[in-house]
Structure 1
Amino acid sequence: MDMRDAEITPSTVELGGVPITFTDPEMRRCPFSAYHKLREEQPVYKDPVSGNYILTRYKDVRKAAMNTKTLSCKTGIIQTRKSEISEQIDRMFQEQGYLPMDTLVTNDPPDHRLYRALVDKAFTREKVDSLEPQIERAVAEIIDGFIDVEEVDFFDAFAMRLPLTVFTEILGVTDRDIDKFKRWNDMSLETSNPALAPERELELVPAVIELQQYLAKNVERVRAAPDHSLLSTLVHANVDGRSLDMRELISILWLLFLAGGETTANAIAGGMAILIERPELADEIRADSAKLDAFVEEVLRIKAPATTMFRRVTADMEIGGVAIPEGSIIETRFGAANLDPDVFPDPEVLDLERENSRAHLTFGAGIHMCIGNQLARGELKASFRQLVERMHNFRAARGEASFAYTSTYVAYGLTKLWLSFDRR
């Protein structure tokens, strides 16, 4: 491409007199005004701090997500992170744990195909469906734990606890120290911040290694004694005589842990926030169980918990008239694309009759479509089915102070939701 053909030169866009940059934690906590302004004024926007090109239109985000030719997932930001202290951190992983490697989300064809084929064997429809009784039981038990209290931090007591409990089902373990899993999850997610300070990066590595060692112990357990868990299926999966070694397994399991924990929790908490705002939706779901699927898809669209992913430009290219040079990082802002009014009229309104709600990009698109999307949908359906059956009159227990939002770079959602309700 001749870079002179591009007509638009990105310039800084301001919101309330402040330049829009997603390195700002406050902007990440509530990015929607920035999304709307960028989509209208500069849908391909060069972040003035990170230098990343931010995509906010549905058509651009989807096209980029599908592009495996000139947009590489090997960015050096997630899992195989590159920084000024990479050599020191790599030594720590090699000496005490397992050096992270590119497998699924951070990999490209043709290598990606092998890993996807192996992981697909563990996440078949049959395997995921077999978890349904455990998920339903986990939802019931977690609700039992707080249904008699006057108020509860719903995020901590339910939204985060459920996906982490489901992860223990995937591993086939009885160890359910959810606080430990939550700590591993929080610290692992923090490593995806492109503006992470080197000293903080060093502080996070021991927690990731601790998680790696826990996962490795369970891999060895099912290698020696196969069981019916998804972990065992993954460990023993074979494609053309090729199975996964320990380093590959640890990288994949770490990714599954991140993808299935915080993001699912954020979607569940986001759905509850909507029910607080619009209590009639709970009545509609109770009256017509078919509305549950529509509710879940709209929650996933509006509250997109995995709000962005990164791609590295491998050759000079143009998006929306903007020249983007080789080596640049672009961000596919799924949270913005899902609210594009050109695709979803009245995008911020949860509409149980919306015909194209499932067209959202919350799980990505193309070969990198989230492998756990059916599992996440199953967790959300089980959650809201039982929540509306057993409770009603959901309300914010502490007014505006009931809500606190994450500043994690790649995720959007609540970290606190103080909830009151009435038993049914």
Structure 2
Amino acid sequence: MKTKDQLYVQEITQFKTKEQFWNPHVWYKEMREKSPVFYDEQQDTWNVFLYEDAKKVLSDYQLFPSARDRSLIPVPLEENKVNLIFSDPPEHKKRRALLAKAFTPRSLQMWEPRIKALVDELVGNLVPGEPINIVEKLAIPLPVTIIANLLGVPTEDWKIIKEWSDVLFLSHDLQRVKELKQLKEQAGKEFGAYLYPIVVAKRLDPADDIISDLIRAEYEGSHFTDMEIVHTVMGLLGAGNETTTTLITNMFYSLAEDNMAAYGQLRADPSLAPKVIEEVLRYRFNITLDRRIGEDTDIFGPHMKKDQHIIAWISSANRDESQFPNGEQFDILREGSNKHLTFGGGNHFCLGAPLARMEAVLALEAFVKRFSSYRLADDYIPQDHLGQNSHELKALSIILEE
């Protein structure tokens, strides 16, 4: 049975318990060893779990194109001129160029002092000796404030922006289709109504931000409408804060629990911060990406038909021991951890990856400089703080020591 518009990973994994969502790697390992190429008959969808197979799906846009009528991505599939997710070269290249200059190394270098200032403020407000929710205090406000600033949206509205973004990016759930559709429609309506006057005002008085860049941009002889810009900004605000929030949250959990010696290694050598971030992205970041099959193929062994769908299980690929020896271990000294596929690959490599990395590294450097150690709160149980049918921690209680 093909599902309309959406793909549902939970219908493939059949996860039911919080423990399964928190530790899906047991299932990933089993699939790598026993069913590395798996066909899900219910959704007429192929699944690959090995590193090289996942990398092929992400990089070969002719065999595995992005244009598709169903997806795991919980955003509307309708077309707009700035949509990057469901387009391929040469169209994708032209659209990506409209946004890419905001995320170049030169642009980010200009942003670094502003990011560092916000990091120092947020870390400076952390109080040692008592349990604090590091998600609420640092992992959420940092990325959503930065992406709002970059886009040209009032940063003081970050809380409501985060609320709308969270609803829009809720994962598909076959048991809640109608409920989620209504929630997303309402959030999209409110978010759009908030952004529209901002876009209109910037059309009259442009500034140095992405919204103004889109207003000035010309695409195939015409300019973007206000609503096209609104929809693009909604997507960027959502994607631009969700990934980095998860990364920073996972970073604090991994350094406290996945390798008890790691924080001491980092304190002894703070230059390891970028390697820590890459290992967190590899080791503790649950993500799946999908594509359409562009032509009949047996590239992975079984015969796959044109227009079927295929899912690359990135979280499994990132622990594939053929690419990452001892891949089930969290090791901040690991060589080659940056070859993970968490930010995708090929033409669709995440546009915001350099920004996410910079924010996480600056946050970690500031934190390590101030606090000699930290630990999870005594009563903290990660399984109790997951989103519904989600792998992501919504809260992380830690105790700091100066």
Which of 393, 396, 400 aligns to 1:414? It is 393
Deviation at 1:242, TM superposition (A): 5.2
| Residue 260 in structure 1 maps to residue 215 in structure 2 | no
Letter in 2 for 1:419: I
Report the Cα distance in structure 1 between the residues aligned to 2:304 and 2:16, rounded to whole angstroms. Answer: 23
Q: Which residue of 2 aligns with 1:15?
A: none
Q: Provide closer, same or farther for how the CA distance between residues 191 and 341 of structure 1 changes in structure 2, counting only shifts above 3 A.
A: closer
Report the Cα distance in structure 2 between the residues aligned to 1:358 and 1:210, rounded to whole angstroms. Answer: 38
| Residue 34 in structure 1 maps to residue 34 in structure 2 | no
Report the Cα distance in structure 1 between the residues aligned to 2:371 and 2:279, rounded to whole angstroms. Answer: 21
| Residue 235 in structure 1 maps to residue 215 in structure 2 | yes
Deviation at 1:128, TM superposition (A): 1.9
2:167·2:183 contact (CA, 8 Å) conserved in 1? no
Which of 250, 260, 284 aligns to 1:303? It is 284
In the TM superposition, what are the counterparts of 1:51-90 in structure 2 within 5 Å? 51-75=44-68, 76-77=70-71, 78=73, 81=76
Residue ranges of structure 1 left out of the alignment (5+ in a row): 1-17, 83-89, 91-98
Q: Provide closer, same or farther for how the CA distance between residues 235 and 196 of structure 1 changes in structure 2, counting only shifts above 3 A.
A: farther
Deviation at 1:172, TM superposition (A): 2.9
- CA offsets 1:97-143 (integer angstroms, 9 cap, x no match): xx867711222233212211111132222222222112112212222
Report the Cα distance in structure 1 between the residues aligned to 2:301 and 2:125, rounded to whole angstroms. Answer: 54
Identity of aligned residues (%): 28
Deviation at 1:169, TM superposition (A): 1.3
Q: Provide closer, same or farther for how the CA distance between residues 38 and 191 of structure 1 changes in structure 2, counting only shifts above 3 A.
A: closer
1:176 counterpart SS class: helix
2:129·2:400 contact (CA, 8 Å) conserved in 1? no
Report the Cα distance in structure 2 between the residues aligned to 1:30 and 1:48, rounded to whole angstroms. Answer: 25
TM-score of the superposition, structure 2-length normalised?
Answer: 0.87
2:151·2:233 contact (CA, 8 Å) conserved in 1? no
Q: Provide closer, same or farther for how the CA distance between residues 304 and 260 of structure 1 changes in structure 2, counting only shifts above 3 A.
A: same
Q: Provide closer, same or farther for how the CA distance between residues 139 and 363 of structure 1 changes in structure 2, counting only shifts above 3 A.
A: same
| Residue 372 in structure 1 maps to residue 360 in structure 2 | no
- CA offsets 1:11-37 (integer angstroms, 9 cap, x no match): xxxxxxx99625757444432111111
1:317 counterpart SS class: coil
Letter in 2 for 1:45: F
Q: Which residue of 1 aligns with 2:3?
A: none
In the TM superposition, what are the counterparts of 1:298-377 in structure 2 within 5 Å? 298-305=279-286, 307-377=287-357
Structure 1, 138-147 or 100-109: larger mean CA deviation:
100-109
| Residue 292 in structure 1 maps to residue 284 in structure 2 | no
Q: Which residue of 2 aligns with 1:251?
A: 231
Q: Which residue of 2 aligns with 1:86?
A: none
In the TM superposition, what are the counterparts of 1:178-189 in structure 2 within 5 Å? 178-189=158-169
Letter in 2 for 1:414: L
Report the Cα distance in structure 1 between the residues aligned to 2:332 and 2:65, rounded to whole angstroms. Answer: 36
2:267·2:372 contact (CA, 8 Å) conserved in 1? no
In the TM superposition, what are the counterparts of 1:397-412 in structure 2 within 5 Å? 397-402=377-382, 404-407=385-388, 412=391
Q: Provide closer, same or farther for how the CA distance between residues 407 and 302 of structure 1 changes in structure 2, counting only shifts above 3 A.
A: farther
Q: Which residue of 2 aligns with 1:124?
A: 104
Deviation at 1:329, TM superposition (A): 1.9
Report the Cα distance in structure 1 between the residues aligned to 2:303 and 2:169, rounded to whole angstroms. Answer: 31
In the TM superposition, what are the counterparts of 1:3-22 in structure 2 within 5 Å? 21=13
Deviation at 1:193, TM superposition (A): 4.9
Deviation at 1:402, TM superposition (A): 4.9
Q: Which residue of 1 aligns with 2:6?
A: none
1:395·1:420 contact (CA, 8 Å) conserved in 2? yes
Residue ranges of structure 2 left out of the alignment (5+ in a row): 1-9
2:45·2:311 contact (CA, 8 Å) conserved in 1? yes
Q: Provide closer, same or farther for how the CA distance between residues 21 and 279 of structure 1 changes in structure 2, counting only shifts above 3 A.
A: closer
- CA offsets 1:307-327 (integer angstroms, 9 cap, x no match): 011212233223421222233
1:309 counterpart SS class: strand
2:380·2:397 contact (CA, 8 Å) conserved in 1? no
Report the Cα distance in structure 1 between the residues aligned to 2:63 and 2:174, rounded to whole angstroms. Answer: 21
- CA offsets 1:367-406 (integer angstroms, 9 cap, x no match): 0000001000001101100111111321110345255233
Structure 1, 369-378 or 125-134: larger mean CA deviation:
125-134
Structure 1, 205-214 or 382-391: larger mean CA deviation:
205-214
Deviation at 1:266, TM superposition (A): 1.0
1:415 counterpart SS class: coil
Q: Which residue of 1 aligns with 2:4?
A: none
Report the Cα distance in structure 2 between the residues aligned to 1:35 and 1:292, rounded to whole angstroms. Answer: 28
TM-score of the superposition, structure 1-length normalised?
Answer: 0.83
Letter in 2 for 1:206: Q
Deviation at 1:304, TM superposition (A): 2.4
Q: CA RMSD in A?
A: 2.7
Letter in 2 for 1:137: A
Report the Cα distance in structure 1 between the residues aligned to 2:331 and 2:245, rounded to whole angstroms. Answer: 22
2:38·2:46 contact (CA, 8 Å) conserved in 1? yes
